[in-house]
Amino acid sequence: MHTVVVGTSGVTASDVLAVARAGARVELSDEAVAALAAARDIVDALAAKPEPVYGVSTGFGALATRHISPELRGRLQRNIVRSHAAGMGPRVEREVVRALMFLRLKTVCSGRTGVRPEVARTMADVLNAGITPVVHEYGSLGCSGDLAPLSHCALTLMGEGDAEGPDGTVRPAGELLAEHGITPVELREKEGLALLNGTDGMLGMLVMALADLDTLYKSADVTAALTMEALLGTDKVLAPELHAIRPHPGQAASAANMLAVLDGSGLTGHHQDDAPRVQDAYSVRCAPQVAGAGRDTMAHAGLVAERELASAVDNPVVLPDGRVESNGNFHGAPVAYVLDFLAVAVADLGSIAERRTDRLLDKNRSHGLPPFLADDAGVDSGLMIAQYTQAALVGELKRLAVPASADSIPSSAMQEDHVSMGWSAARKLRTAVDNLARVIAVELYAATRAIQLREGLTPAPASRAVIDAVRAAGVEGPGPDRHLAPDLAAADAFVRAGHLVAAAETVTGPLR
């Protein structure tokens, strides 16, 4: 099995995906263990002094003014975990929790938190055992980190609360640790706080969303090309020289992808009807501009994620010169903004795809295709209600595009008086990404059917490859009305798994 080695300088997006989704093992580098021990020595020295130090010998948040005596400090660290493990609602997905745990371990291994090496080793052991803490949907405001979600993870390290075992069964965490030979941690000064103060949940969800969107944006380029072909549109608008004079890189990439898919088509630009089109509708002609803007948004979000993956987010932190200083680096604003920005881009991409689908189904705008792509219009309804479903999904995407990061609800007796809501931004983006896959699947279903209804005309080789692959995946072609939900589900699975892109790439080579 692939192993990810965690050092002091952060991790990569591919590391996160390997641990969260592929179950990769985690190991600590010798460098990380040395850094952990050195930082712990600093914390122990401060703990021995009579002067109070935040997070080491004081309370937390609005209670930071109380000096805690040495005999109560272990209890203090246990209590912060127990009291902050206050999440409610449905369970969060396993991959999100694994990303959350792994990214907290990444910061711990930076040597900036003061956590002992044995605590970090226990975090790695829990991940490697396939034990997943039960984390709930609600409980993070995205400031002071993803507090409640991270607290539920820390609770498992203590052998308390519930967790899911590798067999998928939820059981008491203490039982699962014992079965895998893992000793629960006894938290000491600073350690409970260090396990909670991070943007790890929202960052993990950002990394996974970017990976999913990379596939979906390529998929959207393919379906936009198929629709252009089905509508007998002109591919002249995809010429590289047109996009070179407005040099947005995402736009150029989307246009190049569409042009590659349409190479060799016998439909595009050659079979205009009795009212020749000088220009196609915006939803067809401007597909690269809209998808390209989303791609550029992804590039910006990726840069933010890259910086955050290299960060040590905690409060207080142990600095290289030995100082332990309070700070505000746990504020989730940088991540929250791009999570919201991506939701806007996703909503717009879904919206333009729905407009193309509607155009394919309208006999007044489809240039010779039957109403709703029906076999016997009137007797058959064709794809009429598939477009209703797509429209409902797009309506939801628009609601999910309302930014969470524009909101703030003060907490902790006004000590934490401005929060990022980044966790909420991440949760709604996950829903938006899921729905975008469904929207693209409906356009794929309609466009492939429409191309097949253009009898006597030869589609591009890449289009033919897509049609053959999607039919082999169980998505039926033209014909009388049938139960549509299974076809749509099969198309959704085809898109989500990356098979649409893979089918096109058998002809085009790697898409951008």
Catalytic residue set: 54
Residue 377 CA to residue 383 CA, distance in Å, equals: 11
Helix intervals (H) in 263-312: 282-285, 287-309
CB 1 within 8 A of CB 24: yes
The H helix count followed by the E strand count for the chain is: 19, 9
Rg from Cα positions in the chain? 26
Residue 350 CA to residue 390 CA, distance in Å, equals: 9
Residue 264 burial (CB count, 10 A) = 14
416-451 core/surface letters (b: 16 or more CB in 10 A; e: else): beebbbbbbbbbbbbebbebbbbbbbbbbbbbbbbb
Cα 349 to chain centroid, rounded: 16
Residue 322 CA to residue 325 CA, distance in Å, equals: 9
Q: Token pair for residue 2?
A: 């692939």
**Is beta strand 317-318 parallel, antiparallel or unpaired with respect to 162-164?**
unpaired
Residue 59 burial (CB count, 10 A) = 17
CB 473 within 8 A of CB 490: yes
CB 470 within 8 A of CB 493: no
